[in-house]
Amino acid sequence: IRILDNKIASIQEAGTTVFNENSEKINAEGYWISPGFMDLRANFRDPGFETKEDIESGADAAAAGGFTKVAVLPELNPIAQNKSDISYLIEKGKKTAVDILPIAALSHNLEGKEISEMYDLKQAGAIAFSEGNNPVSSSGLLMRGLLYGKTFDALIMVSPEDKGISGKGQMNESLQSVILGMKGIPNLTEVLAIKRDLELLRYTESKIHFSHISSKEAVNLIAQAKKEGLKVTCDVAAHQLLYTDSELKDYNTNFKVKPPFRSEGDREALIDGILNGIIDVIISDHQPEDLEHKEVEFEYAAPGIASIQTVLHFIIEGLADKFNPDLVVQTLSVNPRKISGLEIAKIAENENAELVIWSNEKSWLYNSKSNKSKAVNNPLWNTEIKGKVLGTFHKNKWNQNN
């Protein structure tokens, strides 16, 4: 693949390309080359919480994970709910190796009472609307958002959770939660929320995207909704494909996530959902935290994994013998762009060069030297893992992953 002035100039059989002496040559033997990955859900904490992460460090970690585009959550300070907030994220992202795509607040101040200036925010560059890590508690708010957003094809992303049931739960409700003496979060909390939102979707005849689903029941409900012809899409966090609630036996706070890791049956259902095309997208659900919020008792620890650099590994190990590189391209490159209304990146002559070079066989050591994020809240810390990104090419620049 020969790239010239950010365009793919030619694609030829290996060994036949004629390079001039000024060409930079990249040896990608043994690697896959795909359109750059797009993360549909990450938190870069900037502005307001830069001690945990900022756009520069988040973008560096994203590029090291193979991403060229990242959609960032609105839970910032100030909240991403004005044109200036959206402009800040986009402009700051221009100086990095990735495109920063803002997700704007669905409601004013994320309070769940009044919908935000959705149309103006989309015009300013917001690709979607969300309440961030909180569910949309008000049925009326979501209904108004779906009806209003329908007029300009807005994408509304919801985290399915009934907080009246999940309450102060710490982990999946199961025998494991009983053994560990922790308050459980049943699958029912996700089921009820999805059922309500699907009814609102039927009523409004709009479209909706369910973020980070975690249960077998969720997969079944969304499968049925798609079969009915409803405009529904969904994603799953990459780490949900690998871990279950059994990991919490040692009270390791790096395994505390939201939604929680569930049973082996749920994990298998999520994998089947990806294989069957029910789950459209795999996300990082990158949630960087500082030591102050992780190295505490499990009950008080903040949920989340700083995961954007290790997404490939979670997918490779989670899918195991069901791994297929085509699934990676579909769920990390094609579908995120399709759902958010962006042009799908292609590897073809005369197309813009937005590429990632990666391997599902090669390994690397994930430690303080290779980590690009400010955060270390990841259960893979200080281990050798499979799923290596050689680098990305984006914005007319080769970003070598060292």
**Cα(150)–Cα(378) distance, integer angstroms:** 38
159 forms beta bridges with none
At residue 211, φ and ψ (nearest 5 deg) are -90, 145
Q: Which of 190, 149, 97, 131 is nearest to 393 (CA)?
A: 97
Residue 288: both structure tokens together:
């960087």
Q: Which residues are catalytic?
A: 285
111: left (phi over 0), alpha (psi -120 to 50) or beta: alpha
Q: Which of 49, 58, 76 is nearest to 374 (CA)?
A: 58
Looking at this protein, which amino acid is placed at residue 111?
A: E
- Radius of gyration over alpha carbons of the chain, in Å? 21
Residue 106: both structure tokens together:
């669905």
Question: 60-77 in b/e burial notation, b at 16+ Cβ within 10 A?
Answer: bbbbbbbbbbbbbbbbbe
Which helix (H) or strand (E) element contains residue 200?
helix 188-204
